[in-house]
Structures are given as structure tokens and as C-alpha cells.
Homo-oligomer: A and B are copies of this chain.
Amino acid sequence: MSKKIPVGILGATGMVGQRYISLLEGHPWFEVKYLAASPRSAGKSYAEALGGRWQMSLPLSADVAGMKVSDASDLDAALAAKKAGNCEFVFSAVDLDKAGIIALEDAYAKAGFPVVSNNSAHRWTADVPMLIPEINHAHVDVIPAQRKARGWDSGFIVVKPNCSIQSYMLPVHALMAAGYEVKTLFITTLQAVSGAGYPGVASLDVVDNIVQLPGEEDKSEKEPLKILGSLKDGKFENLAGMRITAHCNRVAVTDGHTACVSLGFGDKKPSLDEVKRIWKAYRGVPQELALPFAPVSPIIVHDDADRPQPRKDRDLDKAMAVSVGRLRSCPVLDIRFTGLHHNTVRGAAGGGILNAELLKAKGYIG
């Protein structure tokens, strides 16, 4: 059996870092061999650095528990790990301010590390692709231009979008890929508390209560336009002509973001049956390449009137499939439906792993 590609986790002790470690357990291509976090964790074993803050339901493996944690800002440590064959690329999930993240990720890329980032800092950097592999796998082709512009050789940076948009972006893209222009999107999200990390959301905000999420709305309205945009001459052009409005709410659900969506097409409008057919048939490059984290069918269409539901559907197909249901016509726009995805898997660490798998398959990693 061929050797797995060793990977490092920057921000290993946080919720997202823990999720990466948990999801990469037994991964066929990648193996966690390097952990880095804040200076106060540096030098400790991972178990010591966690200090009982392991939040995953899969128990921490003894191997990882005993691994020494480095200081994420200590690039020499990362380079030494690379030399020792323990860190070919990194998943970045550090908890810093925007400038700090940009500086850190740039430094790793400059030092020759592919950086697969979970952070928002670089999402609007002009030559950094924001990836959902089924939708815009071709955006990775900006990497040569990115390297050239920055003077980097083997390193580069890719990011994933906010965790709130996957449940409707895949259904929307499927329809666009089938030749139907999508002009208008009305979205109301009911988002899970894990989206805010730990300790994250105060229990007084969601026990017998709902809170709204102004900060998520802006991301939900803008990020789709870059993701659905096109790459021309090393630059992204945002999709024009799609209007999106988002109302975002936090509810007492642990995992799984739900979105109520109304959608308006351009002149050409599919029937409801045609929409269902398109969603069921939808496959992307991750499916063609049979990437390990790719769900067999990226969109699972539910026929029962009371689905999808977060607790019952978030874990479908490695928690990487998007569930849609309640497709019906909309009295104002054309169609409406409910979408659901697992926010910390498809929407965060699992999405990051799928990005890394795409990059490996396309020869940018490993």
C-alpha cells in the first residue's frame, strides 16, 4: 500500500481542528502527522493541550492524543516537520483576527505549503478560489496565477465558503448546470449552534429562544456570486444578474443548517418534475473522480412531506450529502423547497477535506 500524504492541522485544539482530526481518522489518502495551535499549547501533547475540551463523539485516538503540539506561528517547526516527512500541506483552522490569519496563511504558502483554509479571511482575496468542488472545481486553475503573482513556488491558498450556504448552492448549481438561469433567491436559514464553535452560542440565547444572525446574511448573499462566477485570465468575475436575500436565524439544533428557499428562474422554467429529475441526476467532478469524501449523490431528494429534518438527515452519506425536500411551486417566484446540510462536515471540515482531495486529484497536492 502506498504511503499516505502527511498533513498538518493549524488550530488543532479548536472545534474545527478537532473535527478535521476526527474526520481524517482512517482517511485513505491523508494522515494527520503535525499539529499546531497557539503558543500556550506548544510543547504539550495534544491531550494535554486539549485539557478535556475534546468535543467530538468519536473518541480521540491514542496516536493523536500523544502527538506533540507545535506553535502555529513557528514556521521553522513546520518546515522541520516537512523535512521529516510529516507535513506536506496544511488545513488551516486558526482562531486569529483577519489580518493575523492572512499573515499566517501567506507565510505558510510562501514557505511552500499548500494551505487548505477553513477561515474566512482570504475569501475575497482576488486570486484565492472559494471552493465547493461540485460547483467550481475549475477555480483551482487560478493557482498558477496566484503563485506567480505572489512569487510562491509550491505553496498556495484555497478557501471554503461560509458554512450556511451549501444546502442551497448545490441545488441551485444543479439547475444552472442543466441550463436554467436562476435570477432570484429568497433564503431563510435555521442554523445549528455548532456553527459558532465552542463555547460559541450562549444557552440562554437558544433554550426556549431564537436569535438572529446579521453577520451571516451578508456572507450568504455575496459568496454565491464568487463561487458561481467565472475564472478569466487568472481573475474571478462574479456572477452577475442573481439577486439574493437572506434571513439567518440560530435555533436549538446541535448540527445541521436548514434553509427555506424560494427561487425565481429566467425565461426558461423547468417543471417541478424536471427539477427533481435534475437534482437526482446531478453529479460533479468529485463524483466522477470518486474522491473519498464525495457523496455518491450530492443532492438527496426526499419525497416524504416532513423531510428533510436536521437530526434525521444531516448524517446522510458521510454527512456530505445535501438533503432537499418539500419541492413545490412558489406563489411569488417559481419554486420553493427546503434544503439541509451538516454544517461542520459538508459546511466546514468535510468540505475542506473534499477541497484537498480535489487538489490531490488535480496534482496540486502530493
> Is A206 in contact with B207, judged by CB distance below 8 angstroms?
yes
> Is B252 in contact with A251, judged by CB distance below 8 angstroms?
yes
The smallest beta-carbon distance between A185 and chain B, in angstroms, is 8
Known: A200-B202, A245-B330, A249-B260. A208 touches B52 (CB 8 A): no
> Is A247 in contact with B338, judged by CB distance below 8 angstroms?
yes
Please give, as numbers and ranges, the residues of chain B lying within 8 Å of A79 by CB-CB distance: none
The smallest beta-carbon distance between A242 and chain B, in angstroms, is 10
Is A61 an interface position by the 8 A CB rule? no
Q: Which of A50-77 contact B (CB under 8 A)?
A: 52, 55-57, 59
Is A198 an interface position by the 8 A CB rule? yes
A310 to B190 alpha-carbon distance, docked (Å) = 15
A209 to B255 alpha-carbon distance, docked (Å) = 9
A206 to B202 alpha-carbon distance, docked (Å) = 10
Q: Nearest B residue to A184 by beta-carbon distance? A: B332
> Is A202 in contact with B199, judged by CB distance below 8 angstroms?
yes
A85 to B184 alpha-carbon distance, docked (Å) = 57
> Is B251 in contact with A190, judged by CB distance below 8 angstroms?
yes
Please give, as numbers and ranges, the residues of chain B lying within 8 Å of A209 by CB-CB distance: 253, 309-312
Quick one: which of B208, B214, B307 contacts A253, CB cutoff 8 A? B208
The smallest beta-carbon distance between A50 and chain B, in angstroms, is 9
Please give, as numbers and ranges, the residues of chain B lying within 8 Å of A253 by CB-CB distance: 207-210
The smallest beta-carbon distance between A263 and chain B, in angstroms, is 11
Quick one: which of B190, B211, B245, B260 contacts A336, CB cutoff 8 A? B245
Is A117 an interface position by the 8 A CB rule? no
Please give, as numbers and ranges, the residues of chain B lying within 8 Å of A9 by CB-CB distance: none
A304 to B312 alpha-carbon distance, docked (Å) = 30
Q: Nearest B residue to A303 by beta-carbon distance? A: B52
Is A216 an interface position by the 8 A CB rule? no
Q: Nearest B residue to A307 by beta-carbon distance? A: B52
Known: A245-B333, A311-B208, A332-B245. A305 touches B52 (CB 8 A): yes
> Is B207 in contact with A312, judged by CB distance below 8 angstroms?
no
Known: A198-B204, A204-B193. A188 touches B306 (CB 8 A): no
